[in-house]
Amino acid sequence: MKQIIFFLLTSFVALTACNNNAKQDKTTSGTETGTTTNPPAETTLPATDMAKALEAMKNLPALSTDQLKAMLPETLLDMKRSGFSVNSGMGFGVAEADYKNEDDSKRFRVQIFDCAGAAGAAYYSMMYWGFNMEQEDDNGYKKTVTFNGNKAVESYEKNSDQYSLLFPASNRLLVQVEGDNTGLDAVKQAANSLNLKVN
């Protein structure tokens, strides 16, 4: 199973690299359930810069599980950590933790992906660099935005009142912060409170 995932991720990177100079003929398309548009050009790095960044990630040594765990604080905006896990089962390191308030009415989930190595760089390309669109329907939206000066992916699910923010850090990490019943501002505040420095 791991080999299949790795093959799919690396294939995606190869296809993306081959098509990075392709131009899209349409900038907006509509459907009955929602609209899809391309994001502003300033939210993405030039293809050559991103290709260099991905190549650099492939050559980075993986972070240890202790290093990843240290990025998960015991409390997040006064919410205590209710559980965490750290693993490298998909070929790159992943750390995640849940935070809840006392009556369980609000929750944060933090996921940190160490995108070192070939599999990590492929994941970075697919989940972050490869997302260049905006979509919205009755159930919510997903779009590229600017967060701390970098491109980020912001989404909202109306049914669960969940905001999510996916953003890069330390030239190797992808970080996703989700907030249930918290609002978008709290998600951004939680994201900014994380210590994502890599020694």
pLDDT of residue 40: 39
Q: How many domains does the chain have?
A: 1
Whether the predicted pLDDT of 4 surpasses 50: no
Mean pLDDT to the nearest integer, 134-161: 95
> For the chain, what percent of residues have pLDDT higher than 70?
76
pLDDT of residue 183: 97
Identify the residue with better confidence: 148 or 19.
Answer: 148
Residue 51 lies in a domain: yes
State pTM to two decimals: 0.76
Tokens of 194: 């994380």
Residue 30 lies in a domain: no
Neighbours of 32 (CB within 10 A): 5
pLDDT tens for 8-38 read 444 443 433 334 333 333 333 333 334 333 3
What are the residues whose beta carbons fall under 8 Å from the beta carbon of 75, sequence distance 6 or more? 81, 99
Q: Which domain holds residue 138?
A: 2-17+38-193
**Is 90 in contact with 2 (CB distance < 8 Å)?**
yes
Q: Where do we find the tokens 């850090």?
A: 169
Residue 22 lies in a domain: no
